[in-house]
Amino acid sequence: MIETLVFSTKFHGYPNFRMKKFQCYDEAQDFIDYFNEDCESVEDEQNPVWYYAVVVGRCTGIYTDVDQALAETHGYSNAKMTKFLTFDAAHNFLGKWELVVQDGHEYSDGSRFWLAFDVNGRYPDCQDPKHPDSMVAFCDGSALRNGQRDCDAAYARVFPHDQASNVVRTLNGPWATNNRAEYMAALAALQWARDEDPSMLINSMTNWIYKWQNNGWTTQNGTEVKNRDILGQLLDEQGNREVIWRHVRAHTGNKDWESYWNDIADTKARQAAEKLANGYY
């Protein structure tokens, strides 16, 4: 007696998917082994956890949620994603594409994500504006339930040219807001610049902060400026260095160097806020 087993999976919209039917299990397994030496047999796996390796997409890395992985590749030019039964297999696959995998993060629904970046700290085919006399930092804040008493917030400071100096931290207390998280990210970047390169010259931050300071830290409406304590620290840390403040739009799907690293800072801050909300800090 031959027992017939039917397996189903998602392949609609999956880039470069391949499917074929066979008369027996061994033939199907041989087919898988031929096209992917890292793919393991799913026999005896009742509910396997798949690891989706995104090597070309909006945010490269390893995902356990197929919908999240597809969101990073759908509509992206020349996107490439492959699924594996083990994390090690997915990790090795990313390594073949010269992508370095960072520590993983767990979302509130139990799914996990491991961010991956180019070994040279650059996104493929994008210009890296590195200058020997400058430092580039991408800063972002994230707040869950912003403006509410139970708000959980975090911030990230990312240095494309010095990954070891990246910082991800959470905010505690009643002052946790999205704006405060972003201020803290900028403050962390300036503090690092002060300690690492005191010779940098900075002339100004932005015009509005000086107007607030001259008005006694009040707005045009006469109300007190929020987060005055951090803004004052930003001015102190800035000193006489020359800082260029630029706003980079997030979640654009663009492949340029700035958008790529800005999305990394955004992802790190959001993941830290989610972990805080779920009691991981």
**What confidence score (pLDDT) does residue 46 get?**
55
**What confidence score (pLDDT) does residue 37 get?**
52
Residue 280 confidence (pLDDT) above 90: no
Which residue is it, tokens 């297999």? 89
In this predicted model, what pLDDT tens digit does every residue of 129-166 receive, in sequence order? 555 556 788 888 888 888 787 888 888 888 877 777 78
194 versus 240: the higher-pLDDT residue is 240
- Convert 122-155 into a string of H (helix), E (strand) and C (coil): CCCCCCCCCCCCCCCCEEEEEEECCCCCCCEEEE
169 bridge partner residues = 155
**Angstrom distances, CA of residue 213 to CA of 23, 241, 276:** 77, 18, 33
The fold adopted by the segment(s) 25-118 is Ribonuclease HI; Chain A (3.40.970)
The C-alpha atoms of residue 194 and residue 55 are separated, in whole angstroms, by 36
| CATH number of the domain located at residue range(s) 138-277 in this protein | 3.30.420.10
**Would the pTM count as exceeding 0.85?**
no
- Convert 228-252 into a string of H (helix), E (strand) and C (coil): HHHHHHHHHHHCCECCCCCCCCCCC
**What confidence score (pLDDT) does residue 271 get?**
81
**What confidence score (pLDDT) does residue 220 get?**
75
- Domain residue extents for the chain: 25-118, 138-277
